[in-house]
Amino acid sequence: MSEPTSEPVRVALAGTGNIARIHAEALRGLGGRVELVAGVDVDAALARSFCAKHGIPHAGTDLAGAIAATRPDLVHVCTPPGAHLDAARTALAGGAHVLVEKPPARSLRELDDLATAAVASGRDVATVFQHRFGSGAHRLRELLDAGILGRPLLAVCHTTWFRAQDYFDVPWRGRWDTEGGGPTMGHGIHQMDLLLAILGDWTSVSAVARRQARAVDTEDVSLAHVSFAGGAVASVVNSVVSPREESYLRFDFERATIELTHLYGYGDASWRVTPAPGHEEAVLGAWDGGARGVASGHRAQFAAVLDALAGGVPLPVSLPEAGRTLRLVAAVYAAAFTGRPVEPGDLGPGSPFYERMQGGGPPWPAGRPQEVA
């Protein structure tokens, strides 16, 4: 937890690729609340070019050295997933809080290692799950908490995207050792996190994962049935082989259906509310009277992180919260590769899926699409 402060937050970026560009632009949009002090990358030329473009004074290849030289309050980890843990631990050891891009770690073991490092440092680690921070998600959570929607009964959480084979030509993509998984881990995790932010703890998962079309080591499609402690059930689909791309969440409550249709980010117009007969006035009145005007996106979450730092309270989307989402990802893989339902207790130390998302290895040869009858 941080000490309350009104000074601009000093931010360093670990990794200076495309996602770091999104971070830098979003942080610049927050005006005088942020001072970008360093950009670090294993590619020295890329770090220099990035920092020159974004007006960042320190460019380098040594994260520990950059932290010692610039003393950031917060380090944004924007590296490929395989480097998340080392970069986050380096930042914590240097006395900075950490905001790490999704996924926070490649495995549940790595997540526990990161949590241990955070406790030892006395600093916070949070994960970028920006879909929680749009005003539509806030309204939905408020209506649910107020009892206006009744019990959640059924949900749909589908991330049907398209990535051509050349997308995976980047060396770290489509590999268990560097990316940690396929679309279940790297694409649909955003929608899955929002699903859990609304419905809470999951209790059981059954799933299949396939490699239908892409020459990768990971899956390119997964489908899961998820049961929740509150009684709801959900269909979860993750794909990178779907030419008509869509991110779609649907929540069927006793008194209304709430739908969200978007691609990579949503606004207020992306939501649709259908009240059950007899509940039109209560549901629509509450929905229309809720907060508006905040699109989901990095800027919305970064503003919430700065608010937390200013107030000296824990950063939003803490490791325990992110861990619930990462455990659902692990459960999809475990259920798919073992062919049996998985519960949270099945994923602790001693489980191969605690050590690696692919467990002992998926049931197909590496590097080729699996044969489909």
- For residue 3, the model assigns a pLDDT of 63
**Average confidence score pLDDT of the chain:** 96
pLDDT at 373: 34
Structure confidence at residue 4 (pLDDT): 62
Q: Identify whether 368 is part of a domain.
A: no
Report how far residue 360's alpha carbon sits from residue 57's, in angstroms, rounded to the nearest whole number. 45
Give yes or no: residues 195 and 280 share one domain: yes
- Please give the average per-residue pLDDT across 205-215, as a whole number: 97
Query: DSSP letter at 82?
Result: G
pLDDT in tens, 313-343: 999 999 999 999 999 999 999 999 999 999 9
Same domain? 143 vs 286: yes
pLDDT at 206: 98
Q: Are residues 109 and 158 in the same domain?
A: no
Q: Tell whether 54 is covered by a domain.
A: yes
**Contact assessment for residue 59 and residue 20, using Cβ atoms and an 8 Å cutoff:** no
178 with 250, same domain: the answer is: yes
Q: Tell me the average pLDDT across 65-77.
A: 98
State the DSSP code for 240. S
Over residues 357-370, mean pLDDT = 84
Q: What confidence score (pLDDT) does residue 364 get?
A: 84
pLDDT tier at 90 (50, 70, 90 boundaries)?
Answer: very high
| pLDDT single digits (tens) 14-38 | 999 999 999 999 999 998 999 999 9
Q: Are 265 and 245 in contact (CB under 8 A)?
A: no
> How would you classify the pairing of strands 152-162 and 241-253?
antiparallel
User: Backbone phi, then psi, for 16, in 5-degree steps?
Assistant: -130, 35
Full 3-state SS string of 75-96: EEECCCHHHHHHHHHHHHHCCC
97-115 mean pLDDT: 98
Determine, yes or no, domain membership for 319: no
289 in the same domain as 188? yes
Q: Compute CA 149 distance to the chain's CA centroid, rounded to the nearest angstrom.
A: 26
Q: What is the mean pLDDT of residues 238-262?
A: 98
344 pLDDT more than 60:
yes
Q: What CATH number is attached to the domain comprising 285?
A: 3.30.360.10
Segment holding 259, helix H or strand E: strand 256-262
Angle (deg, nearest 10), helices 18-28 and 298-311: 60
Residues 342, 223, single domain; the answer is: yes
The number of folded domains in the chain is 2
pLDDT in tens, 126-169: 999 999 999 999 999 999 999 999 999 999 999 999 999 999 99
Indicate if 103 and 70 belong to the same structural domain: yes
Residue 1 has pLDDT above 60, yes or no: no
The DSSP H or E segment spanning 355 is helix 352-355
176 with 115, same domain: the answer is: no
Alpha helices (H) along 259-318 = 280-288, 298-311
The three-state secondary structure class of 133 is helix
Residue with tokens 């459960």: 331
Range of the structural domain that residue 54 is part of: 9-127
- pLDDT > 90 in the chain, percent: 94
Q: Is residue 104 located within the same domain as residue 140?
A: no
8 A C-beta contact, residue 41 and residue 17: yes
Tens of pLDDT, residue by residue over 296-310, are 999 999 999 999 999
Q: Is the pLDDT of residue 349 over 70?
A: yes
Q: How many H helices and E strands in the chain?
A: 12, 13
3-state secondary structure of 324: helix
CA 266 to chain centre: 15
**Could you give the CA distance from residue 360 to residue 327 in angstroms, rounded to a whole number?**
17
CB count within 10 Å of CB 91 equals 29
65 occurs within a structural domain: yes
> pLDDT by residue (tens digit) across 277-289?
999 999 999 999 9
Query: Do 122 and 197 belong to one domain?
Result: no
Determine the pLDDT at residue 279. 98
pLDDT at 372: 46
Q: CB–CB of 16/79 below 8 Å?
A: no
What gap in Å lies between CA 325 and CA 68, rounded to an integer?
33
